[in-house]
Chains A and B, each alone.
Chain A
Amino acid sequence: MSIDRKMAWRNIWRNPRRSILTICAIVFACTLLIFMLSLQFGSYDTMIDFTVRIHTGYLQIQAKDYQKDREIRHVVPKPGKVGDVLADIPEVESFTYRANAFALVSSAERTYGVLVIGIVPEREAHVSTLESMIRQGEYLTPEDGTGALVGKMLADNLKVGVGDELVVLGQGRDGSVAATVLNVRGIFASGQEDFDRSSIHMPLSTFQDVFSMRGAVHEVVIMGRSLDNLAAVKHDVYEQVRDLANHHSLVVLDWKELMPGLYQGIQMDLVSGFIFYLFLIVVVAFSILNTFLMAILERTKEFGVMMAMGTTPGRLIRVLLMESMSMTLIGIGAGIVCGILLTGYFQVHGITFPDAGEILQKFGIPDRIYPQLSWLSITIGPAAVFVITFFTALYPALKVRRLRPVEALGHA
């Protein structure tokens, strides 16, 4: 250990109580930040995963204006060709086709306007969680041409159960009347009210006949293996389908573009979180500034002696910064350990919030939130604490430059 480092280290422990309190403040800030950020990231992951798995998939290929207008005439004309290309892209885990139309759905007693979604049952099962959401009856089988899956709340409102008939009446792609009779095969509950209240699923082939789609679909829904390299996968998919896309004016959209509300909502939450954390760190910084300041003001005489013996101000500043930054680093180290332990515990056991069930459900989070430790959530908070503490420590340390040995020695 060099002599400077030894001096800094011993200086810290001259007043152990004060140093420990200072370190505690840093530990507290780091632990809290790691926990909060992990909690935020964890709930975002759950929300994204939920949405992606019931609504959007990671990526979709659509006609250029479909996302904006949701018009039945904006179609992907030859989905099979797109599928052939997708099947050869290794990052694409699975994909399916969907077509959507707004239509009147009537039971014996009631009529509602709902979103009718045409799906390919066996493909859909690999892409979305629809199959696992069936609460009554069964999922659609590939042979089943007239089956329908109805959301739980819609089924209640229509007063239908499994086996009942539904009449669908809408407008086809060419403007013709689209009408058919379906049998309720299964009833699903996603937990998200809007979805369960306003949609039914039917086989895509029947949908295409009824709505005069002439083999076209609205969405090619793609699942990748992981969200981490989404941008790369999107680029790959785009490169592969570019010729087809240019020809039929198709676009490749990721979930952020498909669900801008969710994406911007997360950004808003994150930004407001950062504002809160920034205030907290500044309070901590002022809270510990006194320790750094006192460590210097108390020792003016000592510095005078050292300078009189030839210690340069630069070296003094170095020793002082070493002293304060060692405290910070001990605090940060301990804070990271505490943060990981605390977060790790809840990552396994989950956190429940009383009365928050409905809020969480709206955003697709089951009754418990699981914080998610990641390199990002572990490092952001402590890094911010480190930077701000460093500047805090700089102010008192630089004061030493103005010290004159004679005056300092005269100091009581």
Chain B
Amino acid sequence: MHFQLAWRNVWRNPRRTTVILIAVIIGVWSMIFLNSLSRGFLVDLEENGIATLTGHIQILAPRYHQDPVVDNRIEQTAEVRRLLQAELPPGSVWAARVCVNAIASNARHSSGVTLVGIEPDKEARLSFIGGAVSRGEYLAPDDDIGILVGQALLDKFETKLGNKLVLMSQDTGRQIGSRAFRIRGVFRTQLEFTEKQYVFVVLPAAQKMLKMDGAVSQYAVLLPDSEMVDTVAGRLQQAAPDDLEVWTWKELLPLVKAYLGMMDGFIFIWNLVVFVAMGFGLVNTVLMAVYERMREFGLLKALGMRPGRILQDVLIEGFYLLSLGLVIGNVLGFVSVWALAQTGIDLSAVAAGSEYFGISRVVYPVLAAKDVIMADVTVFVLGLLVSAYPALKAARFTPVEALGRT
């Protein structure tokens, strides 16, 4: 009966209820919508980072991370391969790479690049390069002289598919190793920086050029589920040869991790801000509803209703208001995020700006359960809390005084 009573009370003044409902709905909707935008940017940043040759976990020689040169290389490759085969969960992808700074040059231009020697078939499932070749072909495993370059580098060097490109880098004997490669394919990525920075050759070609004698710079691992990173990394660290280091993407990309941490805080604070904005209206509306019915509460009390029941009734009204607002707000939020997810947000008008932040030219909103829950819980719990103020007022009306009011 209490619930029925409260429900009817909510709709006694439909216009007023509708107005405050709209405030709650817009609030909740904007929280969910904006949270999913922020989350979308972050996920994009994270995915770009992981796909751009980071992977989830890397096994590195000591000091390689600070100083990525051939001197810091992994020679015990057989051991690491055994380790990875034994310890990685099914569905994981891993590959060896040579990854060092080099100079690329042709007749007219030269520029600093990162030379990446890859195992083409494994790498295709591991990083962005597998799906990024837009012209020409991807590397075949035995393609000893082929090289993949980014579109931006190709333009900068004023060259074309099939032309030669010379790479130079310091080899293990401290001499400058150099080799000519033929441009086999051109890749495009979301970030121009990536297109300018990385060039890919097959692993044996890189090893030969740098006189690495079968050694590699790193092993990169992509897990089937990013939640497993810390446990798997822990297991690998335990079992890895003593002089090798295991790094997770969170350590390799501290900037991205810091963004993630900051964004969580920011989303929470913004939810609070929006709540406060609607909270004033909520209190006001419930307060009005209570004061209008002062006589009624007085009568109920005179008839012997206990203050606790009155408190409860008013809170149930608040509960209905909030629940209704939350449900509609959530539905609107989901629908609008879904609609936006069909096209994504096109940032190509400010491409240089998105590049500056390290995000793609088209960003998609991402609905994360934890963001939705955080928004809903914030509104619901705090909403009930602030409705307690008018509810307490109503519970405290004294019958005589209240009945005396018109």
Contact = CB atoms under 8 A, between A and B. Distances in A.
A82 interface: no
Interface stretch (A4-12, A183-191, A354-362): A354-362
Interface stretch (B223-231, B308-316, B347-355, B369-377): B347-355
B401 interface: no
A29 B279 CA distance: 12
B120 to A, nearest CB: 26
A287 B353 contact: no
A288 interface: yes
A284 interface: yes
A22 B274 CA distance: 15
Interface stretch (A245-253, A291-299, A316-324): A291-299
A132 interface: no
A71 B110 CA distance: 10
Contacts of A29: 277
B101 A264 contact: no
A25 B280 contact: yes
Contact of A28 (B156, B261, B280): B280
A286 B23 contact: yes
Contact of A283 (B174, B254, B277): B277
B262 A18 contact: no
A198 B174 CA distance: 20
B165 interface: no
B273 A280 contact: yes
Interface stretch (B2-10, B50-58, B78-86, B281-289): B281-289
A262 interface: yes
Contacts of A263: 352-353
A32 interface: yes
B259 A359 contact: yes
A24 interface: yes
A275 interface: yes
Contacts of A310: none
Given A287-B278, A293-B19, A102 B356 contact: no
Contacts of A262: 356
A8 B288 CA distance: 20
Nearest to A362: B255
A18 B284 contact: yes
A247 to B, nearest CB: 26
A267 B353 contact: yes
Interface residues of A, number: 57
B69 A110 contact: yes
B353 A276 contact: no
B273 A290 contact: no
A13 interface: no
Contacts of B273: 32, 280
Contact of B280 (A113, A265, A272, A287): A287
A171 interface: yes
B262 A109 contact: no
Contacts of B387: none
Interface stretch (B26-34, B140-148, B202-210): B26-34
A291 B23 CA distance: 13
Chain B interface, DSSP helix/strand/loop, else mixed: helix
A111 B176 contact: yes
A279 interface: yes
A357 B262 CA distance: 11
A99 to B, nearest CB: 17
Interface in B318-369: 347, 350-357
Contact of A279 (B111, B274, B281, B288): B274
Contacts of A170: 110
Given A268-B357, A291-B284, A279 B26 contact: yes
A359 B261 CA distance: 11
B277 A358 contact: no
Interface string B176-188: 1000000000000
Contacts of A24: 280
A410 interface: no
B20 interface: yes
A157 B112 CA distance: 15
Contacts of B351: 264
B350 A293 contact: no
B67 interface: yes
B110 A287 contact: no
B110 A283 contact: no
A21 interface: yes
A376 B88 CA distance: 56
Contact of B101 (A21, A112, A282, A288): A112
B258 interface: yes
Contacts of B26: 279, 282-283, 286
Pairs of residues from A and B, 5 with the lowest C-beta to C-beta distance, nearest first: A264-B353, A287-B281, A261-B356, A286-B23, A25-B280
21 contacts: A17-B287, A22-B280, A24-B280, A28-B276, A104-B103, A110-B170, A111-B176, A113-B112, A264-B352, A264-B356, A275-B34, A279-B30, A282-B30, A283-B26, A289-B19, A290-B16, A290-B284, A294-B16, A353-B262, A358-B255, A359-B255
Interface of B: 15-16, 19-20, 22-23, 26-27, 30, 34, 37, 66-67, 69, 101-103, 109-112, 156, 168-170, 174, 176, 254-255, 258-259, 261-262, 270, 273-274, 276-285, 287-288, 347, 350-357
Given A264-B351, A265-B353, 16 more contacts: A24-B280, A112-B112, A113-B101, A170-B110, A262-B356, A265-B350, A265-B356, A268-B353, A279-B34, A283-B23, A283-B26, A283-B277, A286-B19, A286-B278, A286-B281, A290-B281
